[in-house]
Amino acid sequence: MFFRIVSLLRWAEEVLRQNGVEDARCDGEWLLARALGCGRMELHLLHDREVTPAKQMIFEGFIHRRARREPLQHILGTVTFGDLELMVDSRALIPRPETEELVVAIENYYAATATSPQSILDLGTGSGAIIFALGKIFPRASLTASDLDANALSLARANSKRCHMEKRITFCQSDWFQTVEGTWDLIVSNPPYLSAGEFESASPEVRLYEPRRALVAPNEGLEHLETIVRESPAFLSAEGLLALETGVTQHDHLIHVADRVGLVVRGRMHDLSGRPRMLLLQRCESQT
């Protein structure tokens, strides 16, 4: 039996809503477009078209996966980050809009100072979203990406090819700075910063499908951020910049740690929800 696109979308929306998916209509459209191999907006022009049983079966499989709260991005296999399309799966955290804002904050900082970093290190690179976005903004910069998780690094390597940056980037398996050597003009990181309690209250998409190790840190989410701030001066060039995505209650504590190791605040930015999220710290030139 053949069903029209409009009927399948109604069915998908009802199933997803019954299972607590917030953007049920939108997610259904994305998944049907993927099953049909067309753009999402094309569906509105084709709403009376019949769908073959084979395509319908694929679509129904997608919807049942999403109804189990598997992230939309995992089902699609890709995510848009800025103007990049990156592979995503359970090996690494799905890039968030807040992390795009971190990239924008870095770009704005260098635009305001009329400078550019010549070398960039991304600690805990995950999918590689940050380093590849910065690689596009700063095309002359050398790029280094590190992660403790070999599986995450394999995903980042695959994305380096998608972004045509495999010849520009060096990968390193490291527990933060443990096996990293050298100095950089810009060190950037979106490390785990959730407490265990925050993780347990997160959506099923996060709790059931994303790597806990990429989200949760000891000491109420502060441990990894503290390590990065405390150890970064030894790896920053003179007047090098450390750019961090943080939890919304962590800035004051991190600034206190930064002050003790000779880093000065160059920016405290809020995310689109008005919460303190990005922290820019600079190594003083006189520091030894």
Chain segment 196-246, per-residue pLDDT in tens? 999 999 999 999 999 999 999 999 999 999 999 999 999 999 999 999 999
3-class secondary structure, 245: strand
- Find out whether 112 and 121 touch, Cβ atoms under 8 Å: no
The fraction of the chain above a pLDDT of 90, given in percent, is 93
Tell me the per-residue pLDDT of 130-150, one tens digit each, with 9 for 90 and over.
999 999 999 999 999 999 999
Structure tokens at 74: 């995992």
Nearest to 284 by CA among 242, 252, 251: 242
What is the pLDDT, as a whole number, of residue 284? 80
Give the mean pLDDT of the chain: 95
Structure tokens at 33: 């477009």
- The answer to pTM > 0.85 is yes
- In angstroms, the CA 270 to CA 248 distance is 9
Asked if the 3-68 domain carries CATH number 1.10.8.10, the reply is: yes
**In the chain, where are the structural domains located?**
3-68, 91-283
91-283 CATH? 3.40.50.150
- In angstroms, the CA 111 to CA 238 distance is 19
Tell me the per-residue pLDDT of 147-190, one tens digit each, with 9 for 90 and over.
999 999 999 999 999 999 999 999 999 999 999 999 999 999 99
Confidence of residue 288 (pLDDT cuts 50, 70, 90): very low
